[in-house]
């Protein structure tokens, strides 16, 4: 994963809309590490995370017409797509059965390898910024983005309406955007 080409988001989107192979290459080079981190945090298995990452990029390429810039940034769309694929994977019957059938050797090597490759939001200071949020915003962000819950699952766990979870998540993200200096940018 490698060269991180600087390209303006609208230019990258244009390449992807045109189905230009360079667009998906740039997208992969610039975002595969972040997506892998999100996926790995959910599936907790390197091989499965790599498979889901590949599936995510195939889905991005094949379904790019579904992306709507008016609804959010490209990065947000691809992270949500990858996150949803990872969640679907861990809920699949195949994944659940494979977890039941792991032998102790696999479990020990999984624990050892997990410490080296987990997604580390501290690298960009995200955890510190989330700690500064109001408690009701912090708990929603913790569940949605650090624990892999869906909005419905978070609503159930917190015993609050789904609309409240969505509102708190949106407000928290707006506050985090302001902290990162992205205020007013899409």
Per-residue pLDDT tens over the stretch 99-149: 655 544 455 445 444 444 444 444 456 677 778 888 888 888 888 877 778
> The whole model's pTM is what?
0.53
CATH number of domain containing 47: 1.10.1740.10
Domain hosting residue 142, numbered range = 120-186
Asked whether residue 22 falls in the same domain as residue 98, the answer is yes
User: Do residues 150 and 165 touch, judged by C-beta distance below 8 A?
Assistant: no
pLDDT digits (tens, 9 = 90+) for 3-56: 667 888 899 999 999 999 999 999 999 899 999 999 999 998 899 999 999 999
CB atoms closer than 10 angstroms to residue 118 = 12
Residue with tokens 């590949």: 54
Asked whether residue 91 falls in the same domain as residue 20, the answer is yes
C-alpha to C-alpha distance for 67 and 21, rounded to whole angstroms: 17
C-alpha to C-alpha distance for 43 and 28, rounded to whole angstroms: 20
User: Do residues 29 and 3 touch, judged by C-beta distance below 8 A?
Assistant: yes
């Amino acid at each position: 994963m490698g060269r991180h080409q600087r390209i303006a988001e609208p230019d990258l989107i244009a390449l992807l809309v045109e189905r230009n192979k360079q667009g998906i290459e740039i997208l992969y080079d610039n975002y595969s590490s972040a997506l892998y981190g999100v996926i790995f945090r959910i599936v907790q298995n390197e091989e499965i995370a790599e498979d889901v990452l590949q599936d995510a990029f195939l889905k991005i390429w094949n379904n790019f017409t579904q992306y709507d810039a008016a609804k959010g940034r490209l990065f947000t769309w691809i992270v949500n797509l990858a996150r949803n694929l990872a969640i679907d994977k861990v809920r699949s019957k195949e994944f659940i059965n494979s977890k039941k059938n792991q032998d102790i050797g696999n479990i020990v090597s999984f624990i050892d390898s997990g410490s080296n490759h987990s997604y580390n939001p501290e690298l960009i200071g995200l955890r510190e910024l989330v700690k500064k949020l109001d408690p009701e915003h912090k708990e929603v962000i913790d569940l949605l983005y650090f624990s892999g819950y869906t909005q419905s699952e978070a609503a159930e766990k917190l015993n609050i309406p789904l609309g409240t979870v969505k509102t708190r998540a949106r407000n928290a993200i707006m506050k985090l955007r302001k902290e990162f200096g992205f205020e007013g940018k899409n």
